[in-house]
Amino acid sequence: MKTNFVKRLLAFLILAAMMSSVCCAAEDTAPSVKCYNGTFVGMRENGIASFKGIPYAKPPIGELRWKAPEPVEADDGTYDATHFGKSAIQLKASSELASMNPEGQSEDCLTLNIWTADLEKKNKPVMFWIHGGAYSYGGTSDPLYDGQYLVAEHPDILLVSCNYRVGPMGFIDFSKVEGGENFPTSGYNGLLDQIQALKWVQQNIEAFGGDPENVTIFGESAGGGSVTELLIADGTEGLFQRAIAESGAVNFTMTHERFAEIGVAQKFLEKANGVCMDDLMALSETELTEIYLDESDGQAIGAMSVLPLRGEDSILPDDPYQALLDGAGKDVDLIIGTTADEMRYFIDDVCEPALADTEGEEYERLLQTKLELFGKYVTGAKVDRVYSMCTAEEKENLDRFLALHADEEEIWAKTALMNEYSFRAPAIMTAYNHAMSGGSGKTYMYHFRKKNTNYDWIGACHACELSYVFHNLTDEQFSGKVVPELADAVCGAWASFAVNGVPVIDGIEWPEYSPDNRETLIFNDDCSISVENDPKSEERQLIETILHYYVAM
């Protein structure tokens, strides 16, 4: 049995080889667009024009390391745009093919990509993709995010995707480090990168036929969290009109206290044999990367859990949910939702190799090992941490939640609790407060229940909807075999929402989410589509009592 991962990796390498062999085509055939920072010459893939690796900010290197992104400068040069830019520095992960980008990794990673069917047509709605990866991994070069399929299906859409700094290069709190006062944005630079990319879009997208006044940001996981954070962040007014948050919400944030508890800044200094910011800034990129990725003591800095800083000294408010209720983002149309089995995605991540790289008895042995480790991970650190923060009454609510799953194995009951706590309940609260804000923005909610058809243990896991969103019918790693008709529906709803703020699915009315009824569109496992009011209401109510702790996972 050859694996989905191997097939994805092979496709990735073939694509890279094809791109490497592409020289700038003749001037009369290669698509070429003049922007503020240069003329970019792209390529055509199956009739779709693509432009890859366009810088949207100055490289965050040298004196700009751990600083807010700075705008690009005017440039009259002509540049090749047939290759993705380098990925942000990160550990390699089998679930994140961008971490193995053939173009490499670098601090110099702030680039974006554009796909369009017709450079002559003007005022096309713009969909702006923000990739996921737990704020520590990922990038736009992953074939799953190939924009040509969505644009081919909906040629009136123009698609943009952007890289941003991840992990402690994009999200680290230096406020307790000597000299850290000179790096005031270090806790949320990754978000500032996204904002700068959106500003570049405002300045340049008309040259590609896009409408800068009709921009929809969308993302999944950390990308979904980023979408909701951009709703409430300072400095984003007018950069987008609509937002789609998949499996991510405003709970994906941290305080100064949580950063200190994790100790990522101190770990960085220890590994660098440093005591202050000058020591970190003196590192060459090679030295910094080696330290960042070093796992010799069992814990690489790049693997330490980090999220955008909220509260004091941040562009994000101390209480993100309250900010939504008070009207932040109230005039932006919003779709938000989750999958049915979010946490099962992480079963395959607990150790190497990927399950898809094995077969027969080896596969069965590895699966059992992963399930044991995942069980310890879910029933141990994660659930125990939640209980440790709760009052006696809140602990009783958690016990009542688990009692609702008494007929399941403990591992799956506690996985269901973490699904709710980390993903679904925060998304519901985000939708509810957005709908309650009194603004002109519409609110829509979904729940994706289509299970992976390749492995029964993974269910409708985190990221399983992405092949459907991108109409990427051959990428099966998270979705299993993609059903074209369901892809038509999901991709079509996302695209129509980008056009005018109304998600349209033939034969189905997707009602707006209201605080009274909590209308939710369900993408069912049998590929049918239905509407439920307040699905799993009792579970929601029990978990909502502890959402004020804000810890993502």
Query: Residue 353, preceding bond cis, omega within 30 degrees?
Result: yes
Secondary structure of 33-81 in the HEC alphabet?
A: EEECCEEEECEEECCEEEEEEEECECCCCHHHCCCCCCECCCCCCEEEC
Tokens of 285: 């990129």
Q: Can you tell me the distance from the alpha carbon of 215 to that of 193, in angstroms, rounded to the nearest whole number?
A: 17
Of 22-26, 245-249, 449-453, where does mean pLDDT reach its minimum?
A: 22-26
- The pLDDT-based confidence of 26 (bands split at 50, 70, 90) is very low
pLDDT at 23: 39
- Average of pLDDT values for 286-301? 93
List pLDDT tens digits, range 120-139.
999 999 999 999 999 999 99
pLDDT for 550 beyond 90: no
The whole-model pTM stands at 0.94
143 sits in the region (left: phi over 0; alpha: psi -120 to 50; else beta) called: alpha
List pLDDT tens digits, range 138-169.
999 999 999 999 999 999 999 999 999 999 99
- The pLDDT-based confidence of 381 (bands split at 50, 70, 90) is confident
Beta-bridge partners for 43? 50
Residues annotated as catalytic are 221, 342, 462
pLDDT at 60: 98
Mean pLDDT score across all residues of the chain:
93
Bridge-based pairing of strands 111-116 and 48-55 is antiparallel
User: Which residues, other chains included, contact 126 with Cβ-Cβ below 8 Å and sequence gap of 6+?
Assistant: 157, 158, 159, 160, 201, 205, 210, 211, 212, 214, 215, 216, 498
User: Which residues, other chains included, contact 299 with Cβ-Cβ below 8 Å and sequence gap of 6+?
Assistant: 267
* Pairwise pLDDT comparison (19 vs 471), residue with the higher score: 471
Bridge-based pairing of strands 111-116 and 158-162 is antiparallel
Q: In the β-sheet with 443-448, what is the strand arrangement from edge to edge?
A: 43-45, 48-55, 111-116, 158-162, 124-130, 210-220, 242-246, 333-339, 443-448, 519-523, 529-533
What is the rounded end-to-end Cα distance, in angstroms, of the chain? 33
Burial of 77 (0-12, 13-18, 19+ CB in 10 A): exposed
- The pLDDT-based confidence of 1 (bands split at 50, 70, 90) is very low
Tell me the angle at which helices 537-544 and 392-403 cross, rounded to the nearest 10 degrees.
160
Bridge-based pairing of strands 210-220 and 158-162 is unpaired
pLDDT at 4: 55
Name which of 40, 196, 168 is nearest 107 in CA terms: 168
Tracing tokens 């034969």 back to the chain, one arrives at 507
Q: Can you tell me the distance from the alpha carbon of 121 to that of 126, in angstroms, rounded to the nearest whole number?
A: 13
- The pLDDT-based confidence of 553 (bands split at 50, 70, 90) is low
pLDDT for 2 beyond 90: no
Tracing tokens 């990428």 back to the chain, one arrives at 475
The answer to whether the CB of 112 falls within 8 A of the CB of 200 is: yes
The answer to whether the CB of 151 falls within 8 A of the CB of 48 is: yes
- What letter represents residue 98's amino acid? A
pLDDT for 25 beyond 70: no
pLDDT at 24: 39
List pLDDT tens digits, range 306-349.
999 999 899 999 999 999 999 999 999 999 999 999 999 999 98
List pLDDT tens digits, range 29-54.
899 999 999 999 999 999 999 999 99
